[in-house]
Amino acid sequence: MSEQYPPGRATLNRDLVLYTLARLGLLAVIALLLVLVGVPVVVALLLALVVSLPLSVIVLPGLRARVNAGVAEMAQRRRAERDRLRAQLRGDQRDGGG
């Protein structure tokens, strides 16, 4: 039996993968540039890690906004489902669902 996810979850997963790959790519490019300049590899990776965080905010605003919107949508869905289940447990819902 395959589990069906709401369309928002698939979109969020895709956006998270894209954002993660973009961040890792940015990290790799910065580290590579630093290594080409002559910075030792470990130091270049650490510097690239520190530099890529604020740079990704500037370079990847669209992806970050999509991920944020997806997370907010999933949180809202979970909140609505939790409220629905709590109401059902209290006996407030009388829709004949079960």
Tell me the mean pLDDT in the region 53-82: 92
Percent composition of the chain: helix, strand, coil (DSSP 3-state, to 5): 80, 0, 20
Residue 3, pLDDT > 80, answer no
In a domain, 41, yes or no: yes
Predicted confidence (pLDDT) at residue 97 exceeds the cutoff of 70: no
Per the prediction, the chain carries an average pLDDT of: 87
Most distant pair of Cα atoms in the chain: their distance: 71
Q: Three-state DSSP class for 60?
A: coil
Q: Which two tokens stand for residue 22?
A: 């973009």
Confidence of residue 95 (pLDDT cuts 50, 70, 90): low
More confident residue, 43 or 9: 43
Burial class of residue 48 (count of CB atoms within 10 Å of its CB; 0-12, 13-18, 19+): buried
Cβ atoms < 10 Å from Cβ of 35: 15
Mean pLDDT of 73-96: 85
Q: Is residue 22 part of a domain?
A: yes
pLDDT of the residue at 84:
92
Q: Does 96 reside within a domain?
A: no
Residues 71-89, mean pLDDT to the nearest whole number: 91
Residues 6+ apart with CB under 8 A from 22: 56, 60, 63
Q: Residue 41 sits in which domain range?
A: 7-90
95, part of any domain: no
In a domain, 72, yes or no: yes
Domain tally, the chain = 1
Q: Is residue 18 part of a domain?
A: yes
